[in-house]
Amino acid sequence: MLTVVAFIVALGVLIAIHEYGHYRVAVACGVKVLRFSIGMGKPLLKWRSRHAETEFVVAMLPLGGYVRMLDEREGPVPAAELHRAFNRQPLKKRAAIVAAGPLANLLLAVALYSIVNWVGQEQPQAMVSAPPSGTLAAQAGLQGGELVLSVQLAGATEAVPVQSFEDLRWQLTQAALHGQDAWLTWQRPGERAVVRGLVATASLQDGGLDQAALKRIGVELPWTPAVLGDIMPGMPAEKAGLQPGDVVHRVNDQSVHDGAQLRAYIRRAASAPEWRTQHWRVERHGQMLTIVVVPDVVETEEGSIGRIGALVGGAPAMVVVQKGLWASLEAAVAKTWEVSVLSVQMMAKMLIGQASLENLSGPLTIADYAGKSASQGLTQYVLFLALISVSLGVLNLLPLPVLDGGHLMYYLWEGVTGHPVSDVWTERLQRVGIGLLLVMMSIALFNDISRLGG
């Protein structure tokens, strides 16, 4: 139920803001707006504006919306109101009205990011878990537990301070998308010396950039202590004599740096016979114990893995990330711009085959993330709204004839040639645009079903 409510609220807010952008600029340009609709299909609610010109509607299907303006192409217009028809407006006004929807979504993202930056939020500290063997982070020298201080992209003159783990992942993703290597500086636990290492993110471009490629960076989870939490009765952890609060230092003579690495060792019981029976070196109340653990082998969507029936790994160290009012706005503008550029770059890479089409997401994935973010609190839900608002703004600016960006392309042609696109070509381009949009939606829906269905 939470997922459905969060999804509908998100769609309603984003569509309302988008259409309000069209509506507000149309009114400011002197165009008569006949209907402002949130949703499609049968109206559920109707009311009139103060001057009884615009009919406001909330419709049954919350999957879109529209602003219907006075226009000679859609019906007869009284002579006395011709000057208020959309099609009679100068090119600049028509372009401004069309562009106002996507821009409203981008401005909403700026506002939401600003609020979160100003109020502040707790985020995991930029301490990295032990990177899997062979990943770029492991090759750079990271072992687990290091506190990353800064990131400097190849060719940049200055290093950028890292505020949190999410900030670190974002900067590494940016480096990968720009085809640049990243120099990290960090401190190891209990040491004051600063270490510098190169994460070769530029190499990810060679095999095509997708989620699997980004996992090769090896910075996926923040560091957590290798401590045990709740123990399930009758499971291998209880049978072995493990207790909540046990700190694990070694497994089969392999050092354990954090909770993520301990979980990896437990899972390994299903794939490596020598790990089927494990000897754990555990610290309990200041004493060191050796405990034999035999994980169960279970089947999951990811294949066979080992499990012990215990909560593995403590909570990560947290840090409050908060900015002043002006700094919050500056950071929000920068974040919105970066996410917009990131979205365009990813779309371009998918178009030329450098990124997988599996990165396309549809309504099912969005609904799933809406529910998950809402369950994590208001701040995460607001960040989710900001991200989707940017995506909606960027998507609508794409030069597809059925989208706002397509209409802007028509106006660009009109501005260059001095005459509008002919009705014949408009109809042809509309068909092409609808076809491309249907293909994109089909791929996105297929990806949704594949992800959620395992």
Does pLDDT of 95 surpass 90?
A: yes
Q: Is residue 225 within 8 Å of residue 247, measured between CB atoms?
A: yes
Dump pLDDT digits (tens) for 101-147.
Answer: 999 999 999 999 999 999 888 889 999 988 888 899 999 999 888 99
Span of 70-79, 205-214, 440-449 with lowest mean pLDDT: 205-214
Looking at residue 212, what is its pLDDT?
A: 66
Does pLDDT of 290 surpass 70?
A: yes
Does pLDDT of 210 surpass 70?
A: no
> CA 193 to CA 57: how far, in whole Å?
63
Q: What is the DSSP letter of 409?
A: H
Looking at residue 198, what is its pLDDT?
A: 92
Q: How many residues in the chain?
A: 454
Looking at residue 299, what is its pLDDT?
A: 81
Looking at residue 20, what is its pLDDT?
A: 94
Looking at residue 208, what is its pLDDT?
A: 54
CB under 8 Å to 11, separation ≥6 — which residues? 62, 63
Mean pLDDT of the chain: 85
Position 151 confidence tier, pLDDT thresholds 50, 70, 90: very high
Does pLDDT of 6 surpass 70?
A: yes
Q: What is the DSSP letter of 222?
A: B
Place of tokens 């645009």: 433
Spot the catalytic one: 19, 158, 301, 330.
Answer: 19
Note the Cα 45 to chain centre separation in Å: 33
In terms of pLDDT, which residue wins out, 3 or 454?
A: 3
Looking at residue 152, what is its pLDDT?
A: 92
Position 430 confidence tier, pLDDT thresholds 50, 70, 90: confident
Long-range pairs for 28-31: beta carbons < 8 A, 24 or more residues apart? 29/89, 29/93, 29/96, 29/97, 30/83, 30/84, 30/89, 31/69, 31/70, 31/84, 31/85, 31/86, 31/89, 31/93, 31/97
Dump pLDDT digits (tens) for 104-114.
Answer: 999 999 999 99
> CA 324 to CA 245: how far, in whole Å?
39
Looking at residue 46, what is its pLDDT?
A: 87
Q: In the annotation, is 146 catalytic?
A: no
Span of 19-28, 44-53, 111-120, 262-271 with lowest mean pLDDT: 44-53
> Boundaries of CATH 2.30.42.10 in the chain?
136-215, 228-313
Question: Could you count the other beta carbons within 10 Å of the beta carbon of residue 88?
Answer: 17
Does pLDDT of 284 surpass 60?
A: yes
Span of 174-178, 289-293, 389-393 with lowest mean pLDDT: 174-178
If one looks up domain 228-313 in CATH, what number appears? 2.30.42.10
Q: Is residue 385 within 8 Å of residue 13, measured between CB atoms?
A: yes
Q: What is the DSSP letter of 157?
A: S
Nearest of 334, 277, 297 to residue 113 by alpha carbon = 334
Q: Is residue 129 within 8 Å of residue 263, measured between CB atoms?
A: no
Position 282 confidence tier, pLDDT thresholds 50, 70, 90: very high
> CA 165 to CA 401: how far, in whole Å?
40
Structure tokens at 390: 């940017």
287-313 mean pLDDT: 87
Q: Is residue 112 within 8 Å of residue 389, measured between CB atoms?
A: yes
Q: What SS3 state is found at 120?
A: coil
Which range of 105-109, 212-216, 318-322, 382-386 scores highest in mean pLDDT? It is: 105-109
Does pLDDT of 265 surpass 60?
A: yes
Looking at residue 100, what is its pLDDT?
A: 95
Dump pLDDT digits (tens) for 330-376.
Answer: 989 988 998 888 788 777 777 766 666 666 665 666 666 666 776 77
Give strand pairing partners of 296.
307
> CA 325 to CA 120: how far, in whole Å?
11
In terms of pLDDT, which residue wins out, 187 or 348?
A: 187
Question: Angle, to 10 degrees, between the axis of helix 363-375 and the axis of helix 423-453?
Answer: 50
Span of 156-170, 250-264, 375-389 with lowest mean pLDDT: 375-389
Span 136-215 CATH architecture? Roll (2.30)
In terms of pLDDT, which residue wins out, 303 or 333?
A: 333
Looking at residue 238, what is its pLDDT?
A: 93
Cα torsion 163, 169, 175, 176 to 10°: value is: 180
> CA 414 to CA 421: how far, in whole Å?
7
> CA 293 to CA 251: how far, in whole Å?
10
Q: What SS3 state is found at 440?
A: helix
Looking at residue 355, what is its pLDDT?
A: 63
Nearest of 236, 248, 352 to residue 290 by alpha carbon = 248
Position 288 confidence tier, pLDDT thresholds 50, 70, 90: very high
